[in-house]
Amino acid sequence: MQDQEVRLAHISWREAGERFSRCGVALLPVGSTEQHGPQNPLGTDHLIAYRLAVEAGRRTGVTVLPPIPFGVSSHHSSFPGTVWVRESVFKEYVRDVIISLKSHGVRKLVVVNGHGGNLHALVSLARELRDEGVLVVVYEWWTLPQLKGLFPEDELGHAAAVETSLNLCIHPEAVKMEAAVDEKPAKLPTDGLGYFPERTDDRVRSGVFGTSTTATREKGARVFEIAVEALVKLVEEVKNLEFERQQRAEAR
């Protein structure tokens, strides 16, 4: 399985046809291009999502789509280099990608989401597509319960040590650890009382939420393996799910 090319962008239409007729499941990585503190690359979220998806694709034989690099990130817009699209645009873009795959026989997808701001649109889309006969399951590496026991809360925030460590593991040349900072996010006046449409600059100046200076490549390798193992497990579950039969039963 290891030597098999699973990246859609690297195979021909003929190979894609063969792959989709053998297995109607695909992995779609989505992310963002947004600030990740002074030490991390702007592409962090889509680069990590793609790398995890490719590794899981190699281990399961499932085809991996090219990553969608822009997401719902306007809350980071005061940081140079952040590129965002509206939530409605993101949702419709992802819908069209999935509908075109459906026409090639893909009925089940695991969306590997690298950016929390995309989740609302993805969940709403997944509900709608289920009614149209496509099963979309959304995976996020940082919400895995295994990580919560391994790292303190302040290392799990946006651009903090865990995410920085993953970058050190996957593309160390893109991380500038000498620029890493620790910053405690400011509280919002409505904390614990109600939802506030917060922007990143309401709470931090550096873009880092928590402690990032404790990041290491070893931590990153550990997180990478945990994240890939969980994703592989999810992909296998989705592969084995008899979604079409379930659809027919529901239609009765």
Can you tell me the distance from the alpha carbon of 39 to that of 181, in angstroms, rounded to the nearest whole number?
Answer: 8
Residue 43 near residue 31 (C-beta atoms within 8 A) = yes
Residue 105 near residue 134 (C-beta atoms within 8 A) = no
* Minimum distance, C-beta of residue 36 to Zn ion, in the bound complex (Å): 6
Nearer to Zn ion, 121 or 129 (CB): 121
The token pair at 66 is: 């090219």
* Minimum distance, C-beta of residue 195 to Zn ion, in the bound complex (Å): 21
| Residue 38, SS3 per DSSP | coil
Paired with 63 in beta bridges are 26
Nearer to Zn ion, 63 or 118 (CB): 118
Question: Which of 27, 45, 98, 164 contacts Zn ion by CB under 5 A?
Answer: 45
Nearer to Zn ion, 25 or 169 (CB): 169
Q: Taking CB positions, which residue lies at the least distance from Zn ion? A: 45
* Minimum distance, C-beta of residue 226 to Zn ion, in the bound complex (Å): 17
Q: Which of residues 114-143 bind Zn ion (CB under 5 A)?
A: none
Binding segment for Zn ion (CB under 5 A), chosen from 19-27, 40-48, 204-212, 219-227, is 40-48
Nearer to Zn ion, 24 or 117 (CB): 117
Can you tell me the distance from the alpha carbon of 141 to that of 224, in angstroms, rounded to the nearest whole number?
Answer: 9
Nearer to Zn ion, 45 or 55 (CB): 45
DSSP string, 74-126: GGGTTSTT-BB--HHHHHHHHHHHHHHHHTTT--EEEEEE--GGGHHHHHHHH
Binding segment for Zn ion (CB under 5 A), chosen from 43-51, 75-83, 124-132, 239-247, is 43-51
Residue 139 near residue 116 (C-beta atoms within 8 A) = no
Nearer to Zn ion, 63 or 164 (CB): 164
* Minimum distance, C-beta of residue 138 to Zn ion, in the bound complex (Å): 16
User: Nearest-CA neighbor of 71 among 100, 102, 40, 42?
Assistant: 42
* Minimum distance, C-beta of residue 24 to Zn ion, in the bound complex (Å): 30
Name the phi and psi angles at 45, rounded to 5: -65, -40
* Minimum distance, C-beta of residue 44 to Zn ion, in the bound complex (Å): 5
Q: How many residues bind Zn ion (CB under 5 A)?
A: 2
Can you tell me the distance from the alpha carbon of 83 to that of 64, in angstroms, rounded to the nearest whole number?
Answer: 24
Paired with 27 in beta bridges are 64, 110
Binding segment for Zn ion (CB under 5 A), chosen from 1-9, 36-44, 199-207, 240-248, is 36-44
* Minimum distance, C-beta of residue 130 to Zn ion, in the bound complex (Å): 27
Q: Which residues bind Zn ion (CB under 5 A)?
A: 44-45
